[in-house]
């Protein structure tokens, strides 16, 4: 028997394929109940803390709204207004917060620190610790992506070609959490995963080795290429992003708090933009996915992200259904 109650949710690799299947089944069930207005009081009187070191739209609100819909309460914590900003340790923070509530969730993407911080919290917390994105993993995003693929393409994703067309280089000290979580998870569903990026933007070797091991075990495949056309050609799903270090607002200015720097190495990748012409190389029923936020100026043409192949809003919506499933399983019954 699988026990979810009380476990941490830091990396989907910590859960078996059957356990991920259960998370998806619960996500679909909760989505249906939400559509029907059926109450889902699985976490009444349960509280959790959402601790953010960085900004968020989807992650924060899917957790806050999701827990409210389950009958519980989520408290938002901006790390800059906590004693962690004065150097309070992860250990002390985790022990105290876990005595106050039933779970702690945290986003900390700082390269070389985020995942270590979450694991340190998990070591000391007496309640589940959930990863809202760190430097290495974004498990809630990958789970929502998988749910959306099953919804659009079917539960059986074997031999489906999914192309992840971006990666941040470890050397650039940017979070690699989204492509890492995706390239590790999708081969576990028998998919043919293509990771395409320009030379010099390689994910760490251990990521590719683990993804290949997952593919060997579950019948998928992993191909790494610097040929963008190869990634688009015949793809059933494309997940193209770019190498910008920040998302511009409508005026092209960097949003408040963002690092308003695109260095020459990043600028050199501007050609890796998702266009209608590239999408035409893919399967006629290809779907375009993006974790969002999207940099419409630099990484994708409006006609693609707003076009008939785009499923980005359904993908974003599924963040709340998968978040509710994970919270229900980890904070709820046994
Ligand atoms: N995709 C995602 O994690 O979005 P936010 O940064 O808005 O949470």
Is the residue at 86 inside a domain?
Answer: yes
Measured from the Cα of 62, ligand 1's closest atom is 8
Clarify whether residues 286 and 326 are in a common domain.
no
Tens digits of residue pLDDT in 142-167: 999 999 999 999 999 999 999 999 86
Q: How many domains does the chain have?
A: 2
Is the residue at 5 inside a domain?
Answer: no
Residue 53 domain boundaries? 12-137+319-331
Clarify whether residues 58 and 116 are in a common domain.
yes
216 Cα: distance to centroid of ligand 1 (angstroms)? 31
Q: Using the 8-state DSSP alphabet, how is residue 83 labeled? A: G
61 Cα: distance to centroid of ligand 1 (angstroms)? 9
Task: Tell me the C-alpha distance between 217 and 219, whole Å.
Answer: 6
CATH number of the domain that residue 181 is part of: 3.40.50.1370
Ligand 1 neighbourhood includes 133 CB (under 6 angstroms)? yes
Clarify whether residues 213 and 66 are in a common domain.
no
- Strands of 129-134's sheet, edge to edge? 73-78, 47-52, 103-108, 129-134
Nearest CA, atom 6, ligand 1? 56
Q: The pTM is what?
A: 0.94
Is the residue at 213 inside a domain?
Answer: yes
Clarify whether residues 92 and 42 are in a common domain.
yes
Clarify whether residues 73 and 221 are in a common domain.
no
Clarify whether residues 199 and 289 are in a common domain.
yes
Would you call 129 helix, strand, or coil by DSSP? Answer: strand
Ligand 1 neighbourhood includes 58 CB (under 6 angstroms)? yes
Q: In a structure prediction context, what are the per-residue pLDDT tens digits for the chain, which is 334 residues long? A: 589 999 999 999 999 999 999 999 999 999 999 999 999 999 999 999 999 999 999 999 999 999 999 999 999 999 999 999 999 999 999 999 999 999 999 999 998 999 999 999 999 999 999 999 999 999 999 999 999 999 999 999 999 999 999 866 566 667 789 999 999 999 999 999 999 998 888 889 999 999 999 999 999 999 999 999 999 999 999 999 865 544 443 333 444 444 444 456 666 667 888 999 999 999 999 999 999 988 887 789 999 999 999 999 999 999 999 999 999 999 997 6
Clarify whether residues 254 and 171 are in a common domain.
yes
Ligand 1 neighbourhood includes 59 CB (under 6 angstroms)? yes
Is the residue at 6 inside a domain?
Answer: no
Tell me the H-state helices in the chain.
17-36, 58-69, 90-100, 114-124, 139-153, 177-185, 205-218, 228-232, 264-267, 276-279, 302-305, 312-331
8 Cα: distance to centroid of ligand 1 (angstroms)? 20
Clarify whether residues 230 and 305 are in a common domain.
yes
Clarify whether residues 102 and 174 are in a common domain.
no
Measured from the Cα of 291, ligand 1's closest atom is 1
Clarify whether residues 51 and 106 are in a common domain.
yes
Is the residue at 2 inside a domain?
Answer: no
Is the residue at 204 inside a domain?
Answer: yes
Clarify whether residues 205 and 127 are in a common domain.
no
Report whether the peptide linkage leading into residue 293 is cis, meaning its omega lies within 30 degrees of zero. yes
Is the residue at 37 inside a domain?
Answer: yes
Is the residue at 3 inside a domain?
Answer: no
Ligand 1 neighbourhood includes 292 CB (under 6 angstroms)? yes
Clarify whether residues 59 and 170 are in a common domain.
no
* ipTM surpasses 0.90: yes
217 Cα: distance to centroid of ligand 1 (angstroms)? 31
């Amino acid at each position: 028997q699988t026990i979810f109650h009380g476990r941490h949710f830091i990396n989907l690799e910590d859960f078996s394929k059957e356990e991920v299947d259960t998370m998806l089944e619960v996500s679909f069930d909760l989505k249906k109940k939400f559509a029907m207005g059926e109450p889902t009081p699985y976490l009444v009187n349960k509280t959790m803390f959402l601790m953010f070191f960085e900004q968020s739209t989807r992650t924060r609100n899917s957790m806050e709204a999701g827990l409210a819909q389950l009958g519980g309460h989520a408290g938002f914590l901006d790390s800059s207004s906590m004693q962690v900003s004065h150097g309070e340790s992860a250990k002390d923070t985790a022990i105290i917060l876990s005595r106050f509530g039933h779970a702690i969730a945290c986003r900390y993407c700082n390269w070389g620190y985020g995942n270590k911080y979450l694991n340190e919290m998990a070591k000391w917390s007496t309640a589940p610790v959930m990863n809202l994105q760190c430097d290495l993993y974004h498990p809630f995003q990958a789970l929502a992506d998988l749910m959306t693929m099953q919804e659009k393409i079917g539960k059986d994703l074997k031999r489906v070609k999914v192309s992840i067309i971006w990666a941040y280089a470890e050397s650039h000290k940017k979070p690699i959490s989204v492509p890492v979580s995706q390239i590790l998870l999708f081969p576990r569903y028998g998919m043919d995963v293509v990771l395409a990026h320009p030379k010099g933007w390689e994910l760490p070797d251990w990521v590719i080795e683990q993804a290949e091991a997952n593919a060997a075990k579950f019948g998928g495949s992993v191909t790494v290429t610097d040929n963008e056309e190869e990634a688009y050609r015949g793809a059933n799903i494309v997940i193209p992003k770019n190498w910008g270090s920040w998302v511009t607002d409508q005026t092209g200015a960097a949003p408040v708090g963002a690092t308003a720097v695109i260095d020459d190495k990043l600028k050199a990748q501007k050609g890796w933009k998702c266009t209608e012409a590239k999408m035409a190389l893919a399967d006629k029923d290809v779907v375009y996915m993006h974790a969002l936020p999207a940099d419409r100026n630099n990484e994708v043409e409006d006609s693609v992200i707003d076009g008939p192949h785009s499923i980005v809003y359904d993908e974003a919506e599924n963040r709340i259904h998968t978040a509710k499933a994970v919270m229900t399983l980890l904070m709820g019954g046994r």
